[in-house]
Structure 1
Amino acid sequence: MRIALISYWTCPFMRLGVFQSGGMGAYIQYLVSNLGQVGHQVDIYTRVHHGNEEKIVTINQNIKVIHYSVNIKNHQSGLTEFTQRMITRIKKEKIQYDLLHCHYYFSGMIGLEMSKILNIPNVVNFHTTSAAKEKYLGIKDEVRKKMEFEVVRETDAIIVNTDLEKNELVENYQADPKKVYIVSPGVDHTLFKKKDQHLARKKLRLPFNKKIILFIGRIDPVKGLRYLVDAVVMLSLRYSSFAKNFRLIIIGGDNKNPSFWKNQEVAGIQKNIISHNLQCCIKFIGSCSHKILPYYYNASDIVVMPSLYESFGLVVVEAMACESCILASKVGGLKYLIQDGINGILFESGNVVQLYQKLYLLISNKKIRLKLGRNAGNSSQRYCWKYQTKKIIKIYQKLL
């Protein structure tokens, strides 16, 4: 098959954890990599990175990334321009695609138009919806919701991660259940796997005598980092020796860019850290490559995911594969991944006191951490990109 994959919102090959790049980018990277490995050709249409010029990047013989620069201050004109640029290239090079696979609602809108022009099926992953943001964050966006309704109604197939997502699409958007398919993302078990903690810390130059708490994600209010920092502050105030014996490592964001520190969320968190003299214990280290992430998972004692909402939670699956002890909020896809007390611990999102209590429980009990980590490693085996990609290919074939 030859597939046109549209990722208008962000380039999946930009550095993860920077700007809008995160779980969706990682999802697309792994999906196209696995599609390419079994012989399918994928052209990824996306926007230029921050400040970068337009270019076509050949990842390998089966995967290309085509970058377009469009007006992002006005997405309506940006979407129209992006669509026209796609049409021009496809006609000029006489490309025959078999189907479209679009990620996020903006891409879905482009996909609807391209599907009509090329007379090929359109598949969409929303990754998150305005209805979910309104429910969990109180953020309303009627313009976006209107577009999502149109995409849900007109597209040929929708792929979601969990039963919860499918039910929400049916309930909130009147989606036809027959065209909504549940396929969970996977994890690369050749990369994310158990390593010796001492060696991992040595490679990363992390202290051997400290408890290490790890957060990985965009520095965005929805990721709930401020609640984790609040919980750590509570621990430091309650236990005088705590600050001397822990490190909170925060991976995500472009910490070398001055604008990062001016971000409202970052500035508020940093102010909290400084006011409690915890600069030596809590470190923003910015984003890092996927090849380095397994070392951080293995170097940590606890991986915390305090999100207010997660459609799935790729960070949790990666942590599970590394047999990490996981503490996560009881929201979205995280409820499906974590069996409370078996392969991780759950807490009510936004509940700082509960987070503080469960964090202290895990910090104080190595035996519990090891048990949860082993069970998490076993649970991760059901999430394999090779097999999940086969399921997605079957959906493609059904539409052709």
Structure 2
Amino acid sequence: MKILLVSNMYPSEEFPSFGVFVKNTEAILTDEGFIVDKAVVTKSIKKSQKIAAYLGHYANVLRKGLTGNYDAIYVHYAAHNAFPLLLLKKLKPSVKIMTNVHGSDVVPEVASQEKFQPYVKKLLQQSTMIITPSHYYKELVHEKYAVTTPIEIFPSGGVNSAVFYPNPGARQRQLEQLALDSTMRYFGYVGRMDVGKGWDHLLKGFSAFLEQNPAEKSKTRLIMVGSGKDDDAFFQMRSDLGLDDIVVHFPLMKHQDLAAIYNIIELFIFPTTRKGESLGLVGLEAMACGTPILASRIGGILDYVQDGANSWLFTAGEWEDLVKQLELYNQLTMEEKQQIAKAAYETAQNYDQRKIQSKLSAIFHKLELTK
């Protein structure tokens, strides 16, 4: 079976985490014996570069879609790829489109993304099959678009256990490489500094936690990994709250370095407020390293977090509840923390890339039956 993978997000050497799950699904399909060709875009910084990249991308999608003998067009991110695919479908009605929807595809995060919604709906209606990362997102698609197109669930490429795994023996070396104080305990965050990611709620909550528990100031640090449009606001808030020496920031990291962060921290905090949080793969990656998470009670996170059993939840957008949950976490015994960490690890194994890759293969083989 020959597949054309279409995406406006694909990792590059400069931005290795940008759309890495798209590359993961490509690797899965290749491992399962599918022939995969690509029409993808890597990240650009300058607006002029983005415009040129998208124009070239759209032309490439049309050229390959019209001339290539593909059994399916597999698209990640409906919003930014709908235009060329709808035109392709008009020019070549026999083409079969598999649309994998994520995040802002269905729940726009900013007003400028709303304009894509009519095209997203039309693309989903004209797709042969829709793939969503979670049960939550499947229901969201049904509720919003009332499509009759079959919907399958596949968790965004899953977790690469060759990268994300418990590695306690390397912790001291990792601390030294990152110039971190080995006498401190660390909480962590990984995500863009962008709207809806909750980085601001985390800073406010962590600051209040320290104020209410003064002894923690000398022994607890927060590592925040990521960059985005809100970088300036992040640094300003960190300074205003007096956290410059307490909140350690790293820019975007490669997956191997993220795995080191997950192994260094004892608790991963996932403060997203996005209704469109279609799965939350970073949470699963942390859990795969044996690190439990404290996450917002929202979105696809609810597919895998059982509050108090394999991790913990707090009310999305309410930093006061985050403080309350951090204090409850602090009261747990070491044995209780280890029990939750073990359950978190076991849960993440259900999303292991090697275990779930046959699910994606099965979805594409269903497509063959529609011929």
Q: TM-score, normalised by structure 1?
A: 0.82
Deviation at 1:391, TM superposition (A): 1.7
- Give distance in 2, aligned partners of 1:329 and 1:38: 35
Indicate the residue corresponding to 2:243 in structure 1: 278
AA aligned to 1:149 is K
Look up the equivalent residue of 2:150 and give its one-letter code: K
| Residues 61, 85 of structure 2: 8 Å contact kept | no
- 1:66-105 equivalences under 5 Å are 71=51, 78=54, 82-88=57-63, 95-105=68-78
Residue 209 (structure 1) aligns with: 183
The reply to whether residue 338 of structure 1 matches residue 313 of structure 2 is no
Shift of 1:100: 0.5
CA distance in 2, matches of 1:285, 1:242: 22
Shift of 1:242: 2.2
Identity of aligned residues (%): 22
State the AA in 2 paired with 1:346.
L
Q: 1:32 to 1:50 in 2, by over 3 A?
A: same
Superposition deviation, residue 328 in structure 1: 0.3
Distance 1:45 1:138 in 2: 26
**Which amino acid in the other structure matches residue 342 of structure 1?**
A
Deviates further, 184-193 or 211-220: 184-193
1:218 to 192, 199, 202: 192
Partner of 1:380: 348
What is the CA distance between 1:330 and its match in structure 2? Answer: 0.4
- 2:217 corresponds, among 237, 243, 258, to 243
Equivalent residue number for residue 155 of structure 1: 127
How much is the aligned-residue C-alpha RMSD, in angstroms? 2.6
User: Which residues of 2 match residues 132-171 of structure 1 at below 5 A?
Assistant: 132-133=107-108, 141-171=113-143
Unpaired runs of 5+ residues, structure 1, are 53-68, 254-259
Contact 1:204 1:295 in 2 (8 A): no
- C-alpha offsets along residues 238-293 of structure 1, whole Å, 9 cap, x if unaligned? 2323222122111112xxxxxx6xx4x33233222212322111122101111121
2:201 and 2:358 map into 1 onto residues whose CA distance is 38
Partner of 1:28: 22
State whether residues 70 and 82 of structure 1, in contact with CA within 8 Å, keep that contact through their aligned partners in structure 2. no
Residue 125 (structure 1) aligns with: 100
Distance in 1, matches of 2:105 and 2:360, equals 24
1:129–1:148 CA contact under 8 A, matched in 2 = no
Runs of 5+ unmatched residues, structure 2:
none
164 and 271 in structure 1: CA distance in 2 versus 1, 3 angstrom threshold? same
Distance 1:11 1:308, change over 3 A: same
Local SS of the residue matching 2:351: coil
Partner residue of 1:256? none
Question: 2: CA distance between counterparts of 1:239 and 1:379?
Answer: 32
Q: Within 5 Å, give how 1:290-305 maps onto structure 2.
A: 290-305=255-270
Give, in angstroms, the shift of residue 207 of structure 1: 1.6
Shift of 1:88: 3.8
**What is the Cα deviation at residue 206 of structure 1?**
2.1
Higher mean C-alpha displacement, 141-150 vs 112-121: 112-121
Residue type at the aligned position of 1:315: V
Contact kept in structure 2, 1:17 and 1:218, CA below 8 Å: no
Q: Is 1:181 aligned to 2:152, yes or no?
A: yes
* CA distance, structure 2, for counterparts of residue 270 and residue 388 of structure 1: 39
Name the CA shift for 1:240/1:17 in 2 (closer, same or farther; >3 Å): farther
Distance (Å, rounded) in 2 between the aligned partners of 1:221 and 1:45: 28
**Matched letter for residue 154 of structure 2:** V
Q: Following the alignment from structure 2 to structure 1, what is the Cα–Cα distance between the partners of residues 65 and 143? A: 37
2:259 counterpart of 1:268: no
Cα deviation, residue 237, structure 1? 1.9
Shift in alpha-carbon separation, 1:246–1:188, aligned structure 2, 3 A: same
1:163 is displaced (CA, Å) by 1.9
Between the aligned partners of 1:7 and 1:384, the Cα distance in structure 2 is 23
What's the secondary structure of 2:166's corresponding residue? coil
SS of the residue 2:273 aligns to: coil
Give the count of matched residue pairs.
359
Paired residue secondary structure (2:291) = coil
The separation in 2 between residues aligned to 1:314 and 1:17, in whole angstroms, is 15
| Inter-partner Cα distance in structure 1 for 2:14 and 2:273 | 23
Per the alignment, do residues 181 and 17 of structure 1 end up closer, same or farther by CA in structure 2, a change over 3 Å counting?
A: same
Aligned amino acid, residue 83 of structure 1: Y
1:53-68 equivalences under 5 Å are none
Which residue identity does 1:175 align to in structure 2?
Answer: V
2:221, 2:247 within 8 Å by CA — same for their partners in 1? yes
Secondary structure of 1:206 counterpart: coil
Matches within 5 A, 1:338-377: 338-365=305-332, 366-377=334-345
How far the C-alpha of 1:114 sits from its partner, in A, is 2.9
Change in Cα spacing, 1:14 to 1:122, as seen in structure 2 (3 Å) is: farther
Shift of 1:142: 4.0
Report the TM-score when normalising by structure 2.
0.88
